[in-house]
Chain A
Amino acid sequence: LPSSFLCVTVSAVWVGLVCLLFYSRLVRVGAAPICTNGQAGCHILSLADLFDRVIQHSARMHGISSDLHSEFEQYFFPSKNHIGRVNRICHTSTILTPNGKENAQRLAREELTEVILKLLVAWRDPLWHFQQSIAHHHDFNNFSSNKALEMSDMVHELRKGVEKVAEKMQMLGIISNSVNSLTSPEALIPSDRAEWRLMKDYVLLYCFRRDSNKVQNYLKILKCRIIPQHEC
């Protein structure tokens, strides 16, 4: 009898010790879901959250484009001299974009938003075609074609996100309503469709890498101008 009692005691003590040691791990932190339409039980996205989301999106988009560009550079243009002689003409060069900080800060919010949207719209079709051509080329591995596909999707998503941000800003009265009229794709795409078809894939990647960087930078400027207290 005493031995059984001892067994019970010792086992209870050990169980207690183990529970004490792992007590801290049992505590969990829950996260509230994010809702889009103001549903009950979730916390509504603020403008700052929207901005953060689109900025992250654009950062990812730029990262993918940089990876693809460096891949192209490695396999197709090994010598640097060859690069220098290529005449890079981007089809989005017709879109006037600020080339410096002062120029960008000089632009109004609406204009800046407009530029962003213009750029995003201009790249939707070329990227889609680029992804198609990459998929059919057997020279590229699956990794590249997946990236190209993701890139073209992201342009589409980012455009929608920026449009949402513009809506929100207009709702909040930060910008005027003139932006909406410019978002229609027909008006934005210049009638130089033939030009981007002539672009080589490498030039296309080069141009897109730069333009994605522009978009990201403009968004950051816009954000810090509108919401300066948030990580600026």
Chain B
Amino acid sequence: MRRAVGVVYLNLHSFLFFHVLSLCLGYSPPGKPKLTSCRSPEKETFTCWWEPGSDGGLPTTYALYYRKENSDAVYECPDYHTAGENSCFFNKNDTSIWVNYNITVVATNALGSNFSDPVDVDVVYIVQPHTPENVTVTVMEDKDGPFLRVSWEPPRKADTRSGWITLIYELRVKLEGEEEWEEHRAGQQKMFNIFSLRSGGMYLVQVRCKPDHGFWSEWSSTTYIKVPDYFPRETSVWILIAVFSAFIFFILTWILNLKSNSVKHCLLPPVPGPKIKGFDKQLLKNGRSEEVFSALVVPGFPPTTSSDCEDLLVEYLEVYTPEEQELILEEGKDLQEGCLKSKGSPSDSDSGRGSCDSHTLLMEKCGEGEGKEEKHQERAQKGKRQQKHQTGWEEGDVSHTREDVLSPDMSEGRVKTWPSVFSPLPQYSSRPLDHQGSLETARQLCLSDSLFPPPSTSSHLSYNAKEGLALGSGQQEFYLGKKQTHPSNPQSQPRWHLQAHSDFNISSMDRKQAASGLQLPGFRSTEYVEVQRVNQEDMVILQPLFSSSCQRDGHLQIGQGEDYSKVKGVDSGNMLLLQREVEVKREEEDGDRYSCDIQDRVTESCYTTSTAASSQVTGKPTSCAGTAMPVQEEMVLAANGYVDAATMLL
């Protein structure tokens, strides 16, 4: 009893002594080990590694214990050595898949032991295969160029053949000298192609794998491959396209250069600028309107008093030989028709018609009017040839065609183109002249002006008096103005009137007429115009003068008072000189009746404006008388009786 107690006391004492001695010497129980990882390379075996803690200075042993799922039996690691130091290897027999392992490592030394934290492990989720094996890289040729073919095999131990493990692969490539790898997933296939290589480059290739649920393996060892030199095919196609495009571009540019003007005209049409005579853009830009408008006042426009009415009229007239007249007559038809401006009624009162300016404008528009004028004159000079037309007139049937033949503007008795036009034979009703109004008279006056050109300009008339005289069989008097055909005058001879131009010719003709006698059939009577008034526009308003003494036989009474209807002339200053008439009573014993007009008047002035009347006076009163009666009411305007009011108007 005493011995047992003594042994126990001795053991306890030695134990305590040992421990105190150990502690005094610095030894301690081992530190806590730590299970670092457990891995299975093929899902059939697995290995666990731990990390030992401090050993406490004393030799320490480690043991691994595990428990399987839902069982309390504790097993120790079957193999501590296969996997190396501080490891435990579980072989196939000891490995169960889809079973939860509870693993603990115990470190033990003389002073004590220490347990690690337990770890639950299911083999399915700790699979990390080995690296793929037999990685081979070859350069293969394609129509697009060379490419790399990488092939490999699964790690030896992983059983993919039976479907136990399914591995997916990954490879990475980089050029030698680069830092970044280019990674590619290859899936379950064991081969991969790499394109778009740099010619002559050295490539590095690595492969690794992973099970569908597990960890990636390590990268395989690097495989080196060199790509041979080649020329990329894509580039050549692009070069071809670029060259072709450049070629087309150059051609386009060249053509554009050639046609730059037309292109510019097409894209940027020129903006029409103002083409007003006297318009100055600079003044407009300056912004002062007064200057702009004042600049528009060009001295030549509008025509002022200085200009001659004659300027607005045709200046030149050409006379053709008779044989050409017919031809031109025919031709003239078309032109005349085209130039007909308006065809008023025969009884057109000419209202609304302007002064002689309107006629001039009309004439100017008809460019061929000049030619017509010529034709007209020719016709006038034709005399006899036109009798047929005259008959037309006499009958009072002024047809357009008839008139057209004669003169384009004679239609309806209108004077359209004035100098050249024959005196239209208006179908006047027997109404007093004053119905015509001032405009009419003005026109008539205007017409007469041409017959009263300034002496200096008399030469401008191309009409040759001699020629005119040569026309026809005899002397022909030219009347200006309207001649009213009296239908009731069967005896009225066809007559025509030539308007215009023949002023001086007439005068010259007068003498000759006196000699040869006028053969002009028909009654020519001239009419005097009385100055009615001068209106504010400096217009001389004239009215035809009817002598009440017309009715009386033989004895004509001129209206009382002075009358200034006689034109003395036009002086150089373009002033119309009116002559005071001296009443002359004349009696003709032959009983001829002179017309109311000029015949009764004696004018001493042998002006260039001497009219037919004067010639009549000196001429053949007989002829005049023959037709005096009916004609008296006619309003025949002789050339000399009219003042060209055109100048006055202006």
A residues apposed to B, CB below 8 Å:
2-3, 6, 10, 13, 17, 59, 62, 66, 81, 83-84, 87-89, 93, 97, 99-102, 104-105, 210, 213-214, 217, 220-225, 228, 231-232
Flag if B98 contacts A214 (CB, 8 Å): yes
Q: List 19 A-B contacts (CB under 8 A).
A: A3-B263, A6-B252, A10-B252, A13-B248, A17-B245, A88-B69, A89-B70, A93-B70, A99-B98, A100-B95, A101-B97, A101-B159, A101-B162, A104-B164, A217-B163, A217-B164, A221-B164, A224-B162, A231-B188
Q: How many residues of B contact A (CB 8 A)?
A: 37
The answer on a CB contact under 8 Å between B213 and A232 is no
* Interface locus among B116-124, B516-524, B542-550: B116-124
Which 5 pairs from chain A and chain B are nearest by CB?
Answer: A224-B163, A220-B163, A99-B96, A221-B163, A101-B164
- Interface flag for B2 (CB, 8 Å): no
B506-528 with Cβ < 8 A to chain A:
none
Residue from the set B159, B188, B212, B241 with the largest chain A CB neighbour count within 10 Å: B212
State whether A100 touches B92 (Cβ < 8 A).
yes
The answer on a CB contact under 8 Å between B252 and A100 is: no
Q: Contacts of B159 on A, CB cut-off 8 Å?
A: 101
Which residues of B are found within 8 Å of A97, using beta-carbon distances? 98
Residue of A nearest to B164 (CB): A101
B166 CB contacts on chain A under 8 angstroms: 220
State how many angstroms separate the Cβ of B252 from the closest Cβ of chain A. 6
Q: Once bound together, how far apart are the Cα atoms of A102 and B166, in whole Å? A: 17
Structural contact, B99 and A99, CB atoms closer than 8 A: yes
B residues at A contact (CB < 8 Å): 43-44, 69-70, 92, 95-100, 102, 117-120, 122, 124, 159-164, 166, 188, 212-213, 241, 245, 248, 252, 255, 259, 262-263, 266
The reply to whether B161 and A224 form a contact with Cβ atoms under 8 Å apart is: yes
A-B contact count (CB 8 A): 76
**A232→B252 contact, CB < 8 A:** no
**In the complex, what residues of B have CB within 8 A of residue A87's CB?**
70
A210 engages B162 (CB within 8 Å):
no
- Judging by beta carbons under 8 Å apart, are A232 and B98 in contact? no
Contacts beyond the supplied A3-B262, A101-B43, A101-B97: 15 A-B pairs with Cβ under 8 Å:
A3-B259, A6-B252, A10-B252, A81-B117, A84-B118, A88-B70, A88-B100, A93-B70, A100-B96, A213-B124, A217-B163, A217-B164, A220-B166, A231-B188, A232-B163
Q: Which residues of B contact A13 (CB under 8 A)?
A: 248
Contact A210 B98 (CB under 8 A): yes
A62 to B213 Cα, complex, angstroms? 10
User: Which chain A residues lie closer than 8 Å to B120 at the CB level?
Assistant: 83-84
A17 adjacent to B212 (CB under 8 Å): no
CB distance from A112 to the nearest CB of B (A): 11
CB-CB under 8 A from B124, the residues of chain A are: 210, 213
A17 → chain B, closest Cβ, in Å?
7
Chain B positions within 8 Å of A221 at CB level: 162-164
B231 to chain A: closest CB distance in Å?
A: 21
Cα distance, A88 to B124, chains bound together (Å): 17
Task: Determine the distance from Cα of A81 to Cα of B99 in the docked complex, in whole angstroms.
Answer: 18
Contacts of B96 in A (CB 8 A): 99-100
A89 to B255, CA, bound (A): 91
Nearest-CB residue, chain A, relative to B262:
A3
Q: How far is the CB of B451 from chain A (nearest CB, A)?
A: 60
Taking CB atoms, residues of chain A closer than 8 Å to B164 are 101, 104, 217, 220-221
In whole angstroms, how far apart are the Cα atoms of A214 and B117 in the complex? 29
With CB as the reference atom, state the residue of chain A lying closest to B124. Answer: A213
Nearest-neighbor residue (CB-CB) of B122 within chain A: A210
**A99→B97 contact, CB < 8 A:** yes
A217 to B124, CA, bound (A): 10
- Pair A232/B122 contact, Cβ less than 8 Å: no
Chain B's closest residue to A9 (CB) is B248
A107 vs chain B, min Cβ distance (A): 13
Q: Which residue of A lies closest to B43 (CB)?
A: A101
Q: Which residues of B contact A100 (CB under 8 A)?
A: 44, 92, 95-97
Q: Are B98 and A223 in touch, CB under 8 angstroms?
A: no
**Residue of A whose beta carbon sits closest to that of B166:** A220
A88 to B159: give the CA distance in the assembly, Å. Answer: 30
Give Cα A102–Cα B252 distance, bound, in whole angstroms.
Answer: 80
Distance of A99 Cα from B68 Cα, bound (Å): 13
